[in-house]
Structure 1
Amino acid sequence: MNFDLTEERQMLQDTLRRFLRDRYDTATRNTILESDTGMSKEIWAELAELGVIGALFTEEQGGFGGKGFDIAVVFEELGRAGVVEPFLDTAVLGGGLVADLGDESQLALVEEVIGGTSQMAFAHGEPSSRYDLNRVQTTAKTEGDDIVLNGHKAVVVNAEAADHIVVSARESGDRDDEAGISLFLVPADTKGVTVQGYALLAGGRAAEVMLDDVRLPASARLGKAGEAYAAIEARIAAANVAQCAETLGAMETATHLTKDYLMTRKQFGRPIGTFQALAFRMSDLLIEMEQARSAVINAAGHLEGDRKTRESNISATKNLMGRAGRLVAEDSIQLHGGIAMTQEYELAHIAKRIVMADHRFGDTDHHLERFIALAAA
């Protein structure tokens, strides 16, 4: 099997890497993190103009990519540079669900997302749902010609900046049933929507979204009533590929910074990287990197497969990336010493992103249990 990038993906990778190298240094990111929005509208618009968002959608949806390897190429570079802008939430999740399920009028929003003029968020997780995609207690009741939403959505990334929020709600069934879940496209300024925002440890912002008698027309529903679970699961799978590729890029930066430091810092008249004990630890990091890269390639290559194959490979990859990522982050910090904990040094942000990535869309324990359950099914 040939794992080399196609000419188009190689061009995309080179263009994105060159842009981020020139425009996205540690000082720039720290300025963005300290801002009220937690993102740079200028950089967002420039990346959209480069076609980065379009690479996350298929040609039928108005983009020029959308496959597993397209997602992996983009997010590996975003992770390598530690980009905090909400590409995953606006394009892969929110925009992706609209592209998958939307009608003709709703699909016009996808063009705005690809053009960089519209922001989106996906409100699915709830305070009691943990990582279970089927646990939805937010309700959607039909009252006349309207649909009324009530509920509480937790840790909705990019909710403050979003122009539209894709909200999951239950129209029928018990709280843990896969059947009965629907998706609704909710303008962020709709009456009854309350957004309470906060900064995230690894960068960006999220919010608690309260839905109090939010009235929507029936045309706000995405797809068929009560049949959204399969689309949600597929989109979370794509988000996991993106998250794992982003973590891989961050791990590459961490190991590169560590190697440079070990060959620069001197003790007893020579670089500390030449000491056998530290050289062995650096070798372990590089081995973990190779395993992680193989896992991401495997997940990206199976994203378009049947459900069991796709989900099994996603859970296996997420489990490995969580374990490998934690090792790379911890060892990189230890090998650097105190400098690694300072905000002005690149590794401080990168290590936080690697560690916190394990806690989104399911941690190592969750995906190990899920992989075993899928294998036994």
Structure 2
Amino acid sequence: MDTLLNEDEELLRDQARAFLAAESPPSLVRKVEDEGKGFDADLWRKTAELGWLGITLPEACGGTSAPFSHLGLLFEEIGRSIAPIPIHPTMVAALAINEFGSPQLVETILPAVIEGEKLLSWAWFEQGGDIDLDSIQLEAQVQGDSLVLSGSKLFVEGFSDADQCLVVCRSQANSTGSVGITLVLVDTASEGLSSTPLPTLAGDIQHELHFDAVAVPIDNVLGEIHQAGAAAITMFERAVILNCAMIVGASRKAIEMAFEYAKGREAFGQPIGAFQAIQHMCANMVTGVDGAAILTHEALWKIAEGLPAATEISTAKAFCNDRCPAALRDGNQIHAGIAQTKEYDLQLWYRRAAAWSMRLGTSIQHRRIVAREIGIVPGQ
């Protein structure tokens, strides 16, 4: 693969960076967080007008059918600006609907998503926080022309503002692994569905969902009932690598802020960047973030080419989880105590990158996937 950006990719990156620098300053991020809003509606409308919400979705629905790698670049810039918009949960669900949903669901849901009129979420995690399909225990029973859900989900992002949530459930009793898995789109206002807010380090709100015999039309099932194990894994992998892109973008911006500070902050009559200890720290920061970017871009490229990418996705996530927060901690150390004050902007990036690195699987969980994919441990 070629890790260098081509002309189209550079243009997309530069336009996105310029737009977000103007429209998503730290003051907006602070405002949304302080007011307890889920997102900034005006910024969301503008991203829809730019076509970002349809960047990899079908032209027939109003999208552009661009390569998946373009979406990854866009997410990297959104992470760089820590833009307060629910693009991650919405696009994760939209991509799954596009790939696995019925023509009716695609035609009904995606045009509204692309126009910015419909927000989506998705729900995977349950008690224990595991990322394999054995962890999925939310019960789904077929009753007539409905699927009835009972149980709970954790760490659901963007739920309070979403119109619908794509839920991974187990529709065959006593099944394990990928057997008996179903993907179903649930209206967030459904009778019997309630939620408990879970404030996060990033300043956003995740939710715990409670399903008390929630009836969902069978027509809202993606693909075949009981047979969505592979589709669920694909959705999860897309979510993971887009999360990596956001971590890389936020980390890159944070270390650049640290470098600028090291050039201007003086001690003993010279910039602190003149001291070898600070120089080595900065070099390590670049090494970590560059490595995370290369691994993330490789996984994005393989997905765009239609190639298997499970190893590359989990490699990128394990590396991002370890090295990007380490780089940001070094950036905090370069700034010293001021980095920890609420009034200073660096903490906005640190908290979000740190929180994102704790989502969608730990380094250990993703290393386990890599070990399985390269044949060191038996597959499931």
Shorter-chain TM-score tier: over 0.9
Q: How far 1:183 moved relative to its partner?
A: 1.3
My pick for the range that moved more, 335-344 or 7-16, is: 7-16
Paired residues for 1:107-186 under 5 Å: 107=106, 108-174=108-174, 176-186=176-186
Unmatched 5+ residue regions in structure 2? none
Q: How far 1:357 moved relative to its partner?
A: 2.1
In 1: Cα distance, 2:225 partner to 2:102 partner:
14
Asked if the contact 1:125–1:153 (Cα under 8 Å) also holds between the matched residues in 2, the reply is yes
Asked if the contact 1:26–1:345 (Cα under 8 Å) also holds between the matched residues in 2, the reply is no
In 2: Cα distance, 1:99 partner to 1:204 partner:
27
Q: How far 1:167 moved relative to its partner?
A: 1.4
**Deviation string, structure 1 residues 274-321 (Cα, Å, up to 9, x no partner):** 1122112111212222222211121112225677x4101111111111
Q: How far 1:82 moved relative to its partner?
A: 1.2
In 1: Cα distance, 2:5 partner to 2:43 partner:
26
> Match of 1:99, as an amino acid?
N
> Match of 1:252, as an amino acid?
R
Match of 1:314, SS state, is helix
Unmatched 5+ residue regions in structure 1? none
In 1: Cα distance, 2:172 partner to 2:304 partner:
29
Asked if the contact 1:89–1:120 (Cα under 8 Å) also holds between the matched residues in 2, the reply is yes
Aligned to 2:237: 237
Aligned to 1:369: 368
TM-score normalized by the length of structure 1: 0.94
Aligned-pair Cα RMSD in Å: 1.9
Aligned to 2:50: 50
In 1: Cα distance, 2:64 partner to 2:134 partner:
31
Q: How far 1:57 moved relative to its partner?
A: 2.5
In 1: Cα distance, 2:170 partner to 2:208 partner:
18
- Check 1:291–1:128 CA distance in 2 against 1; reply closer, same or farther (3 A cut): closer
Asked if the contact 2:149–2:212 (Cα under 8 Å) also holds between the matched residues in 1, the reply is yes
Aligned to 1:213: 213
Match of 2:321, SS state, is helix
Q: Does 1:293 align with 2:293?
A: yes
Q: Does 1:352 align with 2:351?
A: yes
Paired residues for 1:67-106 under 5 Å: 67-91=67-91, 93-106=92-105
Q: How far 1:176 moved relative to its partner?
A: 3.3
Q: How far 1:102 moved relative to its partner?
A: 1.7
Q: How far 1:344 moved relative to its partner?
A: 2.5
Asked if the contact 2:136–2:168 (Cα under 8 Å) also holds between the matched residues in 1, the reply is yes
Asked if the contact 2:153–2:208 (Cα under 8 Å) also holds between the matched residues in 1, the reply is yes
- Check 1:357–1:49 CA distance in 2 against 1; reply closer, same or farther (3 A cut): same
In 1: Cα distance, 2:282 partner to 2:324 partner:
14
Aligned to 2:246: 246
- Check 1:229–1:120 CA distance in 2 against 1; reply closer, same or farther (3 A cut): same
**Deviation string, structure 1 residues 84-113 (Cα, Å, up to 9, x no partner):** 32111011x211221122223211211111
In 2: Cα distance, 1:208 partner to 1:168 partner:
14
Paired residues for 1:18-33 under 5 Å: 18-33=18-33
Asked if the contact 1:56–1:64 (Cα under 8 Å) also holds between the matched residues in 2, the reply is yes
Asked if the contact 2:285–2:327 (Cα under 8 Å) also holds between the matched residues in 1, the reply is yes
Q: How far 1:71 moved relative to its partner?
A: 2.2
Match of 2:190, SS state, is coil
Q: How far 1:11 moved relative to its partner?
A: 2.7
**Deviation string, structure 1 residues 119-160 (Cα, Å, up to 9, x no partner):** 111012112352223421111112233221111011111111
Aligned to 2:201: 201
Give percent identity, aligned residues only.
26
Q: How far 1:345 moved relative to its partner?
A: 2.0
> Match of 1:225, as an amino acid?
I
Q: How many residues align?
A: 375
- Check 1:63–1:8 CA distance in 2 against 1; reply closer, same or farther (3 A cut): farther
Match of 1:238, SS state, is helix
In 2: Cα distance, 1:182 partner to 1:47 partner:
32
Match of 2:211, SS state, is strand
Match of 2:137, SS state, is coil
My pick for the range that moved more, 232-241 or 149-158, is: 232-241
TM-score normalized by the length of structure 2: 0.93
Match of 1:292, SS state, is helix
In 2: Cα distance, 1:36 partner to 1:357 partner:
19
Q: How far 1:65 moved relative to its partner?
A: 4.0
Match of 1:343, SS state, is coil
In 2: Cα distance, 1:290 partner to 1:217 partner:
46
Q: How far 1:237 moved relative to its partner?
A: 1.4
Aligned to 1:5: 5
Match of 1:353, SS state, is helix
> Match of 1:26, as an amino acid?
P
- Check 1:144–1:72 CA distance in 2 against 1; reply closer, same or farther (3 A cut): closer
In 1: Cα distance, 2:141 partner to 2:84 partner:
36
Q: Does 1:257 align with 2:227?
A: no
Q: How far 1:267 moved relative to its partner?
A: 1.2
In 2: Cα distance, 1:175 partner to 1:81 partner:
43
Q: How far 1:18 moved relative to its partner?
A: 0.8
> Match of 1:79, as an amino acid?
G
Match of 1:130, SS state, is coil
- Check 1:83–1:53 CA distance in 2 against 1; reply closer, same or farther (3 A cut): same
